[in-house]
Amino acid sequence: MTMEYIEPPPAIKLDDKKLEGKLRKVLPHDKDESQIIIQKAQIRDVEEILELVNGFAASNLMLPRGPQYLYENIRDFIIADDRNIPIYSLMKTREVLHLIVACGSLHVLWKDIAEIRALAIHPDYQQMGLGSKLIEYMMEEAKQLGIRRLYTFTLTEDFFKTLGFKRQNRAELPPKVWGECSRCPKYFQCDEIGMVLEL
Ligand SMILES: CC(C)(COP(=O)(O)OP(=O)(O)OC[C@H]1O[C@@H](n2cnc3c(N)ncnc32)[C@H](O)[C@@H]1OP(=O)(O)O)[C@@H](O)C(=O)NCCC(=O)NCCS
């Protein structure tokens, strides 16, 4: 007999829209001092990515993810970290913190299509162009792989519209796209919109 362990997604609270307390606080600092680096994720980033993604998931803004998913798909992920978050210790000496402030992933599904998943920008770093930069990075990766079409399921249609994505009727999406949906806790009450970008 063989047995397979399938990790259950963390529970989501469908009625709780407040983000307060669910994401780590970034100490107030002048954003001009930020030094943001966008790069491929590594194993050591998994915990911070989970914290970021599941902080939003707890407010039903995106799908929850578990460590098994993250480790298995770590090569899909990119991160942005701020290498210059200043803190002042008790000795009043200035020290610098690293913090992952955004992530996203590109998951190839078939010869001509890949999905953008788990795009999350820390609230203190939104509306600064970081989400667009991450998508552009993944568009470039997709092109290099020979992928011609990107799609995503999202609650933020207007953000993806600014990047050229167009709303797509679910029935017109290839069946391969539905694999992820069947594992989603929102399967029977899905409120997300399918969007597609031809590269
Ligand atoms: C949605 C999200 C990824 C946008 O990232 P961001 O870094 O704030 O976006 P940008 O600064 O690159 O914005 C690019 C454009 O989209 C617009 N935009 C950003 N977020 C938007 C939103 N929620 N609704 C409508 N428009 C939005 C911006 O105003 C900007 O428009 P402009 O170019 O005309 O000025 C980010 O708010 C986020 O992580 N939200 C929580 C999780 C989530 O919803 N993720 C999407 C997963 S499917």
CA of 190 from ligand 1 middle (Å) equals 21
Atom 32 (ligand 1): residue with closest C-alpha? 162
> What is the total residue count of the chain?
199
Q: Which CATH class is domain 32-198?
A: alpha beta
Predicted confidence at residue 199, as pLDDT, reads 95
Quick check: 138 and 70 in contact, CB under 8 A? no
- How far is residue 45 from each of residues 26, 96, 101, 142, measured CA to CA in Å? 17, 18, 11, 22
Q: Report the Cα 145 to chain-centroid distance in Å.
A: 20
Angle subtended at Cα 53 by Cα 69 and Cα 161, rounded to the nearest 5 degrees: 105
Quick check: 55 and 15 in contact, CB under 8 A? no
pLDDT, tens digit (0-9, with 9 covering 90-100), for 27-60: 556 666 778 899 999 999 999 999 999 999 988 8
Mutate to test the pocket of ligand 1, among 130, 139, 156, 190 (most ligand atoms within 8 A of CB): 156
Predicted confidence at residue 98, as pLDDT, reads 73
- Domain limits, the chain: 32-198
Ligand 1 site residues (CB inside 6 A) read 56, 61-62, 119-121, 126-132, 152, 154-156, 158-159, 162
What 3-state DSSP class applies to 172?
Answer: helix
Residues 6+ apart with CB under 8 A from 27: 85, 86, 87, 97
CB count, 10 Å around CB of 128? 15
- How far is residue 59 from each of residues 50, 162, 191, measured CA to CA in Å? 14, 24, 14
CA of 118 from ligand 1 middle (Å) equals 13
DSSP assignment of 108-140: EEETTEEEEEEEEE-GGGTTSSHHHHHHHHHHH
Quick check: 20 and 67 in contact, CB under 8 A? no
Q: Position of tokens 């029977």?
A: 188
Predicted confidence at residue 14, as pLDDT, reads 45
Atom of ligand 1 nearest to the CA of 127: 11
Predicted confidence at residue 12, as pLDDT, reads 45
Q: Tell me which residues of the chain have a pLDDT lower than 50.
A: 8, 11-12, 14-15
CA of 95 from ligand 1 middle (Å) equals 31
Which H or E run contains 71? helix 67-72
CA of 195 from ligand 1 middle (Å) equals 15
- Token readout for 142 is 């997709």
Predicted confidence at residue 95, as pLDDT, reads 67
Q: Position of tokens 């995106």?
A: 62
Predicted confidence at residue 26, as pLDDT, reads 63
Q: Position of tokens 């770093």?
A: 125
CA of 130 from ligand 1 middle (Å) equals 9
